[in-house]
């Protein structure tokens, strides 16, 4: 007999290490399975976060990923060559665009004509059936059906053709004309679209240009020496608008009224010396230098002066007054 081995303990130990696929959250996650995105509104446990941050974050990420996978396996599954595929529903979260919506292109001349006549656009197949070779051939490109005339070894020449008529060269020239005509039509469509866009923005450009001209005209009118006062006025010329004076409202807050009153008092306060006086005379209120100059010019406080030029009466200007 072969010896038996009890592996139940090993299975229990392995199962204890693996976490369950059933995860419970106090607040359910906001899952948008269309984008395969999950948002966890549950608050963070501060104690576990401070004790072991990495382990706590891995645990939260594992639980949220498990809930997302559980929702993914609850979707309908389709079989394919690569294996089973889950059919995702349309997303419910509205995401902002990185760029604005593109402006619709103006219709071309042919599109306008087709819309007026009710012509529906038909899809042109890339392959076309060749009756002679009994096979499908490319419509364009190398070996295409459009080069059939150029590759033929025998071509019927018209009766009125010149002696140096080359059918291959004639076919190539006709093809080049068609390509050039198509390019010219495309260029005209682009120019027509630009004109339509320019006509849409024309009123705004016109108003902007009008404002600039009025501003330049007003500057030239006051550029003379008399500020335009004696210049000749044209008939119908509007008057210049000056800057309107702004008056304070009659009713205002106490703080603003107090601030304006203090500003006026600070301008009227002459007890403090000016910056120039402080610079010349130091911190004293009396400017000594200015007082000396004043006294030297006027002749002192008593008004006496011993010298000076003689006056009309033969006495000096600075003589003793009676």
pLDDT of residue 316: 47
pLDDT of residue 181: 92
Q: Report the pLDDT averaged over residues 165-191.
A: 87
Per-domain boundaries in the chain: 16-86, 274-303
pLDDT tens track for 48-96 = 889 999 999 998 999 999 999 998 888 988 888 888 888 899 998 888 8
pLDDT tens track for 305-317 = 444 454 444 444 4
- Span of 32-41, 186-195, 293-302 with lowest mean pLDDT: 293-302
Q: Which tokens go with 117?
A: 């006549």
pLDDT tens track for 86-115 = 889 999 888 888 888 888 888 888 888 888
pLDDT tens track for 222-243 = 788 777 777 777 777 777 776 6
- Choice between 63 and 164, residue whose per-residue pLDDT is larger: 63
Spatial CA neighbour of 86 closest among 70, 71, 75? 75
Residue 316: CB atoms within 10 A of its CB come to 14
Q: Report the pLDDT averaged over residues 247-266.
A: 85
pLDDT of residue 61: 92
* Residues 128 and 137 sit within 8 Å (Cβ to Cβ): yes
Q: Report the pLDDT averaged over residues 186-199.
A: 80
- Choice between 162 and 298, residue whose per-residue pLDDT is larger: 162
Side-chain-side CA neighbours of 239 within 13 Å: the count stands at 3
* Residues 108 and 189 sit within 8 Å (Cβ to Cβ): yes
- Mean pLDDT (the chain, rounded): 78
What is the 3-class SS of the chain, one letter each residue?
CCCCCCCHHHHHHHHHHCCCCCCCCCCCCEEECCCCEEECCCCCCHHHHHHCHHHHHHHHHHHHHHHHHHHHHCCCEEEECCEEEECCCCCCCCCCCCCCCCCCCCCCHHHHHHHHHCCCCCCCCCEEEECCCCEEEECCCCCCHHHHHHHCCCCCCCCCCCCCCCHHHHHHHHHHHHHHHHHHHHHHHHHHHHHHHHHHCHHHHHHHHHHHHHHHHHHHHCCCCCCCCCCCCCCCCCCCCCCCCCCCCCCCCHHHHHHHHHHHHHHHCCCCCCHHHHHHHCCCCCCHHHHHHHHHHHCCCCCCCCCCCECCCCCECCCCCC
| Cα→Cα distances 195→178, 184, 190, Å | 26, 17, 9
| Cα→Cα distances 1→5, 7, 259, Å | 13, 18, 109
Distance CA(138)–CA(130), nearest Å, equals 10
* Residues 92 and 39 sit within 8 Å (Cβ to Cβ): no
How remote is the C-alpha of 299 from its chain's centroid? 75
Q: Report the pLDDT averaged over residues 150-160.
A: 77
- Span of 83-97, 142-156, 257-271 with lowest mean pLDDT: 142-156
Spatial CA neighbour of 150 closest among 183, 124, 184, 176? 176
Query: Which residue's entry shows tokens 């010896």?
Result: 3
């Amino acid at each position: 007999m072969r010896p038996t081995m009890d592996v139940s303990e090993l299975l229990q130990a392995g199962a204890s290490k693996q976490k369950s696929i059933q995860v419970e959250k106090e607040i359910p996650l906001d899952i948008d399975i269309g984008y395969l995105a999950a948002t966890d509104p549950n608050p963070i446990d501060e104690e576990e976060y401070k004790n072991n941050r990495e382990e706590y974050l891995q645990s939260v990420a594992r639980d949220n990923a498990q809930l997302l996978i559980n929702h993914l396996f609850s979707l309908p599954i389709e079989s394919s060559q690569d294996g089973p595929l889950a059919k995702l529903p349309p997303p419910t979260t509205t995401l902002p665009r990185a760029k604005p919506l593109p402006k619709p292109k103006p219709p071309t001349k042919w599109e306008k004509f087709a819309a007026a006549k009710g012509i529906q656009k038909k899809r042109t197949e890339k392959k076309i059936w060749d009756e002679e070779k009994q096979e499908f051939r490319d419509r364009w490109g190398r070996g295409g059906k459009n080069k059939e005339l150029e590759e033929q070894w025998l071509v019927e020449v018209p009766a009125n053709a010149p002696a140096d008529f080359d059918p291959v060269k004639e076919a190539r020239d006709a093809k080049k004309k068609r390509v050039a005509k198509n390019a010219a039509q495309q260029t005209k469509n682009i120019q027509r679209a630009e004109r339509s866009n320019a006509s849409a923005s024309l009123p705004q450009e016109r108003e902007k240009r009008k404002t600039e001209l009025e501003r330049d005209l007003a500057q030239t009118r006051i550029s003379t020496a008399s500020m335009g006062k004696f210049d000749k006025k044209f008939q119908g010329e509007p008057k210049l608008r000056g800057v309107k004076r702004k008056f304070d409202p009659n009713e205002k807050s106490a703080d603003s009224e107090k601030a304006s009153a203090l500003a006026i008092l600070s301008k009227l306060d002459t007890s403090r010396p000016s910056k120039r006086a402080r610079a010349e005379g130091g911190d004293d209120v009396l400017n000594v230098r200015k007082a000396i100059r004043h006294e030297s010019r006027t002749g002192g406080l008593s008004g006496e002066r011993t010298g000076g030029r003689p006056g009309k009466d033969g006495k000096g200007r600075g003589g003793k007054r009676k």
